């Protein structure tokens, strides 16, 4: 029996919880952090972001360019396959919103969504599209000057020339605006974590499986659910090109493309 057959047997007719990472969105044109041949990337930490106006200027200048391209990405066959599978819960570490656009409903966006903005002063949330329009008006020609810079997976770009970029404050109180996502150095809100733990724990009672798709599991925010499943005796299937932190805990590990495997899984479940 091949590894792919073993994986499909564990997934075809059982309750599923699915954990996805950046590797699932590469087929939509969004690069990942740690896949094969991915360059080293050091995302801005929360502590750096709140350190002062210079860091915020650097972040928003880069994000202004990157988000303008990220919002043009479309869900790929992997996203659509997961929407058709409709797992008990889909936990995504991605902030791109592509699972939602593909139609997945039972979902926890573990790290938030890049399409939302929050004020660190009054905590008002607003649409990223509205801020994008304000940034464009305050910085005419900026996007055109840097049209060829490389996009990064967290919705920004590789760019050092950010001096002079104008960043507006909150439209309600003038406070500092931050993307409504969990930065490195921040904690995932506890209610999100508890909902995910509950879904993983339920798999032990229902004979279900945890599927990881497109994540290296390098950060604890996702890896903890693999540890929880393995400790409870829940089978873990990992589909990812390249090694992951959870490989030793996996029942089956496949190094294949996410879109292709998920499309096959969707078809097998539909036929079951």
Binding residues for Zn(2+): 119, 122, 170, 173
Residue numbers belonging to the annotated binding site? 119, 122, 170, 173
Segment 46-98, tens digit of pLDDT: 999 999 999 999 999 988 888 877 788 899 999 999 999 999 999 999 999 99
Catalytic residue (choose from 64, 80, 111, 180) = 111
Contacts 24+ apart (CB under 8 A), 265-272: 265/8, 265/11, 265/12, 265/81, 265/85, 266/81, 266/82, 266/84, 266/85, 268/8, 268/11, 268/12, 269/11, 269/12, 269/13, 269/85, 270/84, 272/12, 272/13
pTM of the full structure: 0.91
| CA-closest candidate to residue 128, choices 142, 139, 114 | 114
User: pLDDT exceeding 90 applies to what percent of the chain?
Assistant: 74
Indicate if 111 belongs to the active site. yes
Please name which of 189, 170, 61, 64 lies closest in space to residue 125, comparing C-alpha atoms: 170
1-30+74-111+187-272 belongs to which homologous superfamily? TPP-binding domain (3.40.50.1220)
First to last CA, the chain: 19
Question: Per CATH, which fold does 41-72+115-181 belong to?
Answer: SIR2/SIRT2 'Small Domain' (3.30.1600)
How confident is the model over 160-179, as pLDDT tens digits? 778 889 999 999 999 999 99
208, with CB counted inside 10 A (0-12, 13-18, 19+), is: buried
* Token output for 152: 């990064």
Residue showing tokens 């044109």: 29
Domain boundaries, the chain: 1-30+74-111+187-272, 41-72+115-181
Distances (CA, A) of 219 to 24, 122, 184: 16, 30, 9
């Amino acid at each position: 029996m091949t590894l792919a057959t073993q994986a499909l047997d564990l997934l075809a007719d059982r309750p599923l919880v699915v954990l996805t990472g950046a590797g699932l969105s590469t087929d939509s044109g969004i690069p990942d952090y740690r896949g094969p041949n991915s360059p080293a990337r050091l995302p801005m930490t929360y502590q750096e972001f709140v350190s002062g106006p210079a860091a915020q200027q650097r972040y928003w200048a880069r994000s202004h360019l990157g988000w303008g391209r990220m919002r043009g990405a479309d869900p790929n066959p992997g996203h659509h396959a997961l929407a058709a599978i409709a797992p008990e819960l889909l936990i995504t570490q991605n902030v791109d919103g592509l699972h939602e656009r593909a139609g997945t409903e039972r979902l926890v966006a573990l790290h938030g969504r890049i399409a939302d903005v929050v004020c660190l002063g009054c905590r008002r949330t607003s649409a990223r599209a509205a801020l994008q329009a304000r940034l464009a008006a305050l910085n005419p020609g900026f996007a055109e000057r840097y049209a060829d810079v490389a996009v990064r997976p967290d919705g920004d770009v590789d760019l050092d020339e950010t001096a002079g970029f104008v960043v507006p404050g909150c439209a309600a109180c003038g406070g500092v605006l931050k993307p409504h996502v969990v930065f490195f150095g921040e904690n995932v809100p506890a209610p999100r974590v508890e909902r995910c733990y509950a879904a993983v724990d339920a798999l032990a009672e229902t004979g279900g499986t945890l599927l990881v798709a497109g994540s290296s599991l390098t950060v604890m925010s996702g890896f903890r659910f693999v540890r929880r499943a393995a400790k409870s005796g829940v089978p873990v299937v990992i589909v990812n090109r390249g090694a992951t932190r959870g490989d030793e805990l996996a029942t089956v590990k496949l190094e294949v493309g996410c879109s292709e495997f998920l499309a096959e899984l969707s078809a097998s479940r539909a036929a079951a």
